[in-house]
Amino acid sequence: MSADYAAIAPPSARRVRWSLDHADFLGSLLVAPAVLFILCLVAVPFFLAIYYSLSAYNMGTLSFSFVGLDNFIAVTKSEIFRRSLMNTLLFTVASNLIALVLGKIAALLLLREFRGRTVVRCLLILPWAVPVALAAITWRWMLDSMYSVINWVLVHSHLVPAYVWPNWLGEEGLAMISIIVIQAWRLFPFSAIIFLAGLTSVPKTIVDAAYVDGAGYWRRTFQIVLPVILPIMMVAMLFGLVFTFTDMSVVYLVTKGGPTNSTQVLGSLAFQVGILSGDVGRGAAISLYFFPFLLVATYFLLRYLRRREI
């Protein structure tokens, strides 16, 4: 491209020049730092986690010894683990479903032009924008056993009698409902904006053409709009599922897994066993139960990422 310059430059400079002009080489060079970082701090730790899960590694003794699948067997047999697994599934599916429905409603509402729409959108985004730790601590105060504002409303609208109001975070079923609602609250703005972006990106000409051809509302929705926005919706939904399934923030901050493990999820259990109790081997074994789930999610993600047209 700049042959004149290359001809008069000294040989070493020419070599540098050549390599920087060679797309393949330069391409690898530019991507290398990112790949190296990920290899060192994601891939290596991942294999380290597998190694830990196969050994009796304890913070207290600091001794490694290979124990095969003992950790996995012990973990799988434990009552708390099975309960956590079921809790995690319930927590994930329920909160994502609610978020999806609310997100869809919010998107449909925001699709209309009305006065104050920008302000409404700003307010609806808040739950997703704010750091989970700050939001969770606020919910904890709203669900306080004594001064819960929600209970105040319930009492004063005579739905529950005074002083026997529900103890949201202190009773098993209620605690689970609470963390599901909080997680749905965090997630629904994300699903709303993805829905909204999807809906507004469907070319109006296609929808109009279908309308002229006599397609009714449902037909337009399911056969025209949905197929176009499906890939990106699926990507967003899979992300929501993965983040909820592997998360422990809301649980740790609001209930700490209690009362009596009724809201314990896999993430918080791994934290408790691996970090707080120092049984790294078992903790790693619990964490690795995420892996098959991640694989399945990855498979579907790849399918939809490649099919993504909008």
Dist. CA 224–CA 206, nearest whole Å:
8
In the bound complex, what is the minimum distance in angstroms from residue 73's beta carbon to other proteins? 19
CB nearer other proteins, residue 99 or residue 175: 99
Dist. CA 225–CA 173, nearest whole Å:
39
In the bound complex, what is the minimum distance in angstroms from residue 134's beta carbon to other proteins? 4
Contact 224, 209 (CB under 8 A): no
Residues numbered 167 to 186 that lie near other proteins (CB under 8 A) are 185
Taken as a whole, the chain contains a residue count of 310
3-state secondary structure of 269: helix
Candidates 100, 176, 179, 232; binder of other proteins (CB under 8 A) is 232
Burial class, 297, CB count within 10 angstroms (exposed 0-12 / middle 13-18 / buried 19+): middle
Residue whose C-alpha is closest to residue 193's, from 115, 271, 120, 289: 120
Helix orientation angle between 226-246 and 172-201, rounded to the nearest 10 degrees: 150
Amino acid at 170: G
Residues numbered 45 to 84 that lie near other proteins (CB under 8 A) are 45-46, 48-49, 52
Dist. CA 175–CA 251, nearest whole Å:
10
Candidates 97, 226, 296, 310; binder of other proteins (CB under 8 A) is 310
Return all residues near 50 (Cβ < 8 A) that are at least 6 apart: 284, 288
The stretch among 65-73, 119-127, 169-177, 218-226 that binds other proteins (CB under 8 A) is: 119-127
In the bound complex, what is the minimum distance in angstroms from residue 260's beta carbon to other proteins? 18
Candidates 86, 209, 226, 302; binder of other proteins (CB under 8 A) is 302
Candidates 71, 92, 249, 272; binder of other proteins (CB under 8 A) is 249
The stretch among 1-9, 75-83, 204-212, 216-224 that binds other proteins (CB under 8 A) is: 1-9
- Residues near other proteins (CB under 8 A), total: 101
Q: Is 30 in the site for other proteins (CB under 8 A)?
A: yes
> Please, what sign has the CA dihedral across residues 55, 252, 179, 129?
negative
Tokens, residue 310: 């909008």
In the bound complex, what is the minimum distance in angstroms from residue 32's beta carbon to other proteins? 8
CB nearer other proteins, residue 214 or residue 298: 298
In the bound complex, what is the minimum distance in angstroms from residue 18's beta carbon to other proteins? 10
Q: Is 159 in the site for other proteins (CB under 8 A)?
A: no
In the bound complex, what is the minimum distance in angstroms from residue 222's beta carbon to other proteins? 21
